[in-house]
Structure 1
Amino acid sequence: MKGEFFISVSNSKVKYEFSIKRNITVIQGDSATGKTTLVDMIREFEQNGADSGINLSSKKKCRVLEGNNWEENLSLMNDSIIFIDEGNRFVESADFAKAVKNSGNYYVIVTREGLDNLPYSIEEIYGIHTSGKYADLKQVYHEFYRIYGNNNFNDCRIEKIITEDSNSGFDFFNAVCGEKIRIKKYR
């Protein structure tokens, strides 16, 4: 599975809208920010469809993975966006990392822990931001925000690059930087 996928999940009180760009997205944040509510809503929609009172819009099927039978359940999930809530210890295992690597799914993992076995991008770690509460019966709108940098390297002024590699490393930086930056090789 490749590409960016927009997801909208809502009920009469809460609405989440976000895009998934890579195969692993991590959601972090404090308690009571709506992380588990998001996963619960997707689980409820998966089990009961429109009868759940939840609206879910996505080009790919959204599923929840949890529990001791995760391997068996995951083997039945293909071409899906899979949500995993905190407390599922299998997420930290080497077996899970291998399963993710060999799968065609995208994963949205809610966790406060580091995921040492999984190769995820620092740019795909998000928190949930609440942008307004009106009353208990009115909708609360949630959006994801990037926790780690929207680094704009266009504002960065590099004056020198030093490389000890006189072959491919030097050739790479020389081709990328051209005449804009002085590049010197040291032996």
Structure 2
Amino acid sequence: MPRQIFQLKISLAGVRPTVWRRVLVPGGYTLDRLHRVVQHGMGWRDCHLHSFEIDGIQYGEPDPDGELALTDELDVRLDAVVGKGSRFHYTYDFGDWWEHDLVVEDAVTADPEVRYPSCLDGARACPPEDIGGPVGYHALLAALADPRHPEHRSMREWVGDRFDPAAFDPGRADTLLRRFC
């Protein structure tokens, strides 16, 4: 039986202009592997907790203290819980609370000449880790956009000269996906 590939659009909620990625992911991936696709495709560093919500069920790494009721993401294949047209959510960093909207735009047969997962397209840089969620990110963008802003210099120093909120390199994201997922 040929492998099924899902075309997913991942959009970061609460951020304007929208930060998004379009990726191709094998349907046989576990949600744990999809977590890595989201991390590397978006540009996160995977240093915080995360969870998926699909049809009202929470998936993630089981909490050893039992405080979070999560179904183990290692036990669940993507194609067992979603299909073409499905919408679901991924939350990263329960402090900053980055919500991602995921849509299964298409389901196709794997091309034997293509390596998966892959990044097809996207827009804008991923926000820096620990910026304070969407509110903090909007404050950063405002400070960076206005050289007269009282926080301009400190924010530029904190985020570094290389950070460009408008930049996104799908080729780099594609390389990271193939190397780490």
TM-score by length of 1: 0.28
User: Larger radius of gyration, structure 1 or 2?
Assistant: 1
Q: Which has the higher contact order (CA 8 A, sep 6+)?
A: 2
What is the TM-score with the length of structure 2 in the denominator? 0.29
